Amino acid sequence: MFRFLFCRRKYGILIIQILSCYQLNQIALRSIMEPFNTPLKIREISLPHRAVFGPMAGFTDAPARRLMAQHGAGFTVSEMVSSRALVYGDHKTVSLLKAEPNGAPYGVQIFGEVPEIMGQAAAAVEQYAFDFLDINMGCPAPKIVSGGAGSKLMLDPDRCGRIVEEVVKNTSRPVTVKMRKGWDAEHVTAVECAKACEQAGAVLIAVHARTREQMYTPGIDPSIIAAVKDAVHVPVLGNGDIRTAEDAVRMVEETGCDGVMIARAALGDPWLFERVNAALEGLPRPQGAEPAGPDECPAPAGGGDGGAEGRVRCHAPGPGPDHALHEGPEGGRQPAALLL
């Protein structure tokens, strides 16, 4: 099937070019992907790549962040930390903020439901080394939402805006937000919350395309990411079910998002960032950027309770971060990130 481009002139019709549908599709795809060859900016911060490593409680510690950055993560984020604990100066909480140079911008993520306390927490972390401050509006854990924080905030767009406003007021760093599609099927509020956050000063928004009710069940709704992208003027990252380079390209094509956030799928497969970056930037698939095997990778010698005999499951499916666990010879289980 061909599309003909005609140039009408006085003496007839001159066919100036014939483009096949395949060629047109390739041109359209290149136009979509072209921006991915340029750095994405979070205010004054330029990201080396547009595939980033999302925060996960119990997993995104300093060694895990370093590993993902070495494999091409555009930025990394700390485990979420409690705004109240930061205000009270809890030493265990502060230890989660440990930063070390890894070649990629590093963000600290805080959570809470009281705007004023979130602002105080932002001021409390100013003394530490990090590049941007992220606000958690997506955590579905019962102990977080029961207190009104995390994805529970998706029920109150006005509160979302007031939280961002207080945080922006109390930090010199760029402020970003991680949110979900909404609370449940009756409360799909990502667009309203994103608008409120942008108006209050957020400079980037990451959207997990599931509601809190869905938790991590298979299947995402790319249309909500597209809707948020259309509604705001700041960069939008798409998140959810990105397990392959093809998944990342598909998300960009379907939503128009400015980048992708990868979390669970990178546990045990940090090479995923190399493959995704190559696909998004129009580069050849990198050689050797694959896990050791389809089922498991050898754990580092002496790592975790299992020592050199332990294994890390690379591709075991699961509803949440618990799908990547270290299993020692006695069945002892530790988060894989502790080994990385």
pTM of the model: 0.78
In the chain, the percentage of residues whose pLDDT exceeds 70 is: 75
Q: How far is CA 12 from CA 17, 87, 101, 159, in A?
A: 15, 78, 66, 65
Alpha helices (H) along 34-169: 62-70, 83-88, 91-95, 115-124, 142-145, 157-169
Mean pLDDT of 68-76: 96
| Choice between 338 and 260, residue whose per-residue pLDDT is larger | 260
Q: Please check the confidence at residue 79 and state whether its pLDDT lies above 80.
A: yes
Give 83-128 pLDDT, tens digit per residue. 999 999 888 888 888 777 778 999 999 999 999 999 999 999 999 9
Q: Please check the confidence at residue 311 and state whether its pLDDT lies above 70.
A: no
Q: For position 199, what pLDDT does the model report?
A: 98
Q: Which of 62, 202, 219 is nearest to 136 (CA)?
A: 202
Give 3-state DSSP helix, strand, coil % of the chain, rounded to 5.
Answer: 35, 25, 40
Distance CA 57, CA 63 (A): 14
60, HSE (Cβ side, Cα atoms, 13 Å): 28
29, HSE (Cβ side, Cα atoms, 13 Å): 13
DSSP character at residue 73: -
Coil, helix or strand at residue 122: helix
Mean pLDDT of 303-310: 31
| Cβ contacts of 58 within 8 Å, gap of 6 or more | 79, 321, 335, 337
Structural domains of the chain, ranges and CATH numbers in brackets: 33-281 (3.20.20.70)
Distance CA 42, CA 40 (A): 7
Query: What is the length of the chain?
Result: 340
Q: Please check the confidence at residue 54 and state whether its pLDDT lies above 90.
A: yes
CA 141 to chain CA mean position, Å: 18
Active site residues per annotation: 139
Q: How far is CA 336 from CA 45, 118, 142, in A?
A: 30, 30, 23
Q: Please check the confidence at residue 340 and state whether its pLDDT lies above 80.
A: no
Q: Please check the confidence at residue 321 and state whether its pLDDT lies above 70.
A: no
Least confident of 26-30, 48-52, 176-180, 292-296: 26-30
DSSP character at residue 187: B
Mean pLDDT of 133-143: 97
